[in-house]
Amino acid sequence: MSFIALIIKNLVRQRIRTGLTVLGISMGITTVVALGVVTSSLKESAGEIIRLGQADFMVAQEGAADLTFSLVAEEDATALAAYQDVARAEGVLFHVVHVGSNPFFFLVGRDAADLAASPPSSMEGRLLAPDAIDEVMLGRRAADELDAKIGDTVTIDDISFRVVGTYQTGSLWEDGGAYAPLTAVQEMSAKSGVVTAVYITVEPGADAAAVADGIEDDFENLVTIADVGEFGKVDQGVEFMDAANIAISVLAVGIGAIGVMNTMIMSVLERTREIGILRAVGWSGRRILRMIIGESLLLCVIAAAVGTALGVLATRAVLLIDMVSNLMEPQYTPDIFIRGLIVAVVVALLGAIYPAVRAVRLTPMEALRYE
């Protein structure tokens, strides 16, 4: 019998115990994978709005609990527009409202002149007119969900707007929301004189990173965000989810290792005489060690496969809920699955250490006398 076949045979001897151990470990890996997908997906959706209007970076209030809670005075937006090497600075106001079946309708207040300077790359109809307060441009996804066409009237937060155009940017939140006049959104949200963020486009040839650093130095309580990795500056929820992901991974390792250790100790105890015979016929302690660790690794790799599959299925099931599908599109990046596999391998090694050492320390005579 080959070495691999022996490892498989040892695992299938106690099918119920092996199955329950695999199930227990896979539940932890399912959670790790599912939370990883959710975190990655939300980051991707959030990252899409960082470069609204093809801006180089955005400026927001430092330490805001969430980007939508960020408040930047319009005076600061004006000062940013005059900052060295800044070609354009657009202040926008984000307002999340319940529209139709979407509780996370992403309404973006934009000045008509700024919108005209950086219109959506794909649109139908026309842009918002200067000084208009009752016009709206719907994202294509939002228009489809509301069954609204150009010329129709839609109600947003109890206010009627006439649809003058539709657009598509590729951003889930933008395409599922709308552009409305900045003054109208400020009045609607009771945030007169402030914006959520300022989008900065630098002069051709200017160093965007240097401009961003200068702004952070010169403007108190404002931070710049150029990519999703910096989103934690203004959205504590992102940092919380990252921390939760790490905590759950550690918890999965701890619980899984205990389960594997219990299974492998029972397996070693039940096979004590068999291990003694193997030692008596010439098996080295190192080979016994490889056998025990091999069984543990195979057990956890199977659990990783099951847990990963369940994690993917769980996220797909959650995305069937409209409220969730309006917030994110699933991102199945390789690092998520690698993280699940790493958790499984660490669980296998930690869970196998004590049983393997115990098996190696058995002398043939001690093992053969074991009842």
- As a whole number of angstroms, the distance between CA 243 and CA 213 comes to 27
- What average pLDDT does range 319-344 have in this prediction? 82
* pLDDT in the model for residue 331: 81
**Is 41 in the same domain as 55?**
no
- What average pLDDT does range 309-317 have in this prediction? 91
Contact 243, 250 (CB under 8 A): no
Can you give the residue range of the structural domain that contains 166? 51-226
> Per-residue confidence at 100, pLDDT binned at 50, 70, 90?
confident
- DSSP, collapsed to helix, strand or coil, labels residue 285 as helix
pLDDT at position 111 over 90 = yes
> Is residue 359 included in any domain, yes or no?
yes
Contact 296, 16 (CB under 8 A): no
Q: Is the dihedral of CA 301, 306, 307, 311 positive or negative?
A: positive
**Is 106 in the same domain as 154?**
yes
**Is 202 in the same domain as 146?**
yes
Question: What is each CA distance from 339 to 28, 169, 225, in whole angstroms?
Answer: 12, 32, 27
* pLDDT in the model for residue 181: 95
Number of domains in the chain: 2
Kindly report the average pLDDT of the chain as a whole number: 86
- DSSP, collapsed to helix, strand or coil, labels residue 104 as strand
* pLDDT in the model for residue 366: 67
**Is 135 in the same domain as 252?**
no
> Per-residue confidence at 319, pLDDT binned at 50, 70, 90?
confident
**Is 181 in the same domain as 244?**
no
- As a whole number of angstroms, the distance between CA 120 and CA 51 comes to 12
pLDDT at position 7 over 60 = yes
Both tokens assigned to 56: 């180089």
**Is 170 in the same domain as 247?**
no
> Per-residue confidence at 263, pLDDT binned at 50, 70, 90?
confident
Report DSSP state, residue 114: H
> Per-residue confidence at 201, pLDDT binned at 50, 70, 90?
very high
Question: Measuring CA to CA, which residue among 198, 165, 197, 195 is closest to residue 179?
Answer: 165
> Is residue 248 included in any domain, yes or no?
yes
Q: What is the pTM of this model?
A: 0.75
> Is residue 233 included in any domain, yes or no?
no
- As a whole number of angstroms, the distance between CA 17 and CA 36 comes to 29
> Is residue 136 included in any domain, yes or no?
yes
Span 143-183, pLDDT tens digits = 998 999 999 999 998 899 999 999 998 888 888 899 999 99
* pLDDT in the model for residue 36: 86
pLDDT at position 368 over 70 = no
* pLDDT in the model for residue 91: 92
Is the model more confident about 56 or about 51?
56
Both tokens assigned to 24: 């227990």
**Of 11-20, 177-186, 245-254, highest mean pLDDT:** 177-186
* pLDDT in the model for residue 253: 82
Question: Measuring CA to CA, which residue among 151, 75, 76, 146 is closest to residue 107?
Answer: 146
Report DSSP state, residue 129: P
* pLDDT in the model for residue 359: 80
> Per-residue confidence at 284, pLDDT binned at 50, 70, 90?
confident
Domain end among 196, 226, 256: 226
> Is residue 182 included in any domain, yes or no?
yes
Both tokens assigned to 212: 């961003």
Percent of the chain with pLDDT over 70: 95
Give me the amino acid identity at 88: R
- As a whole number of angstroms, the distance between CA 121 and CA 107 comes to 19
**Is 298 in the same domain as 257?**
yes
Contact 260, 299 (CB under 8 A): yes
Question: Measuring CA to CA, which residue among 183, 187, 184, 97 is closest to residue 142?
Answer: 97
pLDDT at position 369 over 70 = no
**Is 358 in the same domain as 277?**
yes
Residues in the chain: 371
Contact 116, 141 (CB under 8 A): no
**Is 221 in the same domain as 279?**
no
- As a whole number of angstroms, the distance between CA 290 and CA 4 comes to 11
Contact 118, 54 (CB under 8 A): yes
Domain end among 226, 250, 278: 226
> Is residue 232 included in any domain, yes or no?
no
> Per-residue confidence at 226, pLDDT binned at 50, 70, 90?
confident
**Is 38 in the same domain as 83?**
no
- As a whole number of angstroms, the distance between CA 292 and CA 30 comes to 25
> Is residue 231 included in any domain, yes or no?
no
**Is 70 in the same domain as 151?**
yes
Give me the amino acid identity at 332: Y
Question: What is each CA distance from 353 to 225, 236, 360, in whole angstroms?
Answer: 45, 39, 11
> Per-residue confidence at 236, pLDDT binned at 50, 70, 90?
low
Residue 287: Cβ within 10 Å count: 13
* pLDDT in the model for residue 195: 95
Span 66-96, pLDDT tens digits = 788 889 999 999 999 999 999 999 999 999 8
Domain end among 165, 192, 226: 226
**Is 39 in the same domain as 59?**
no
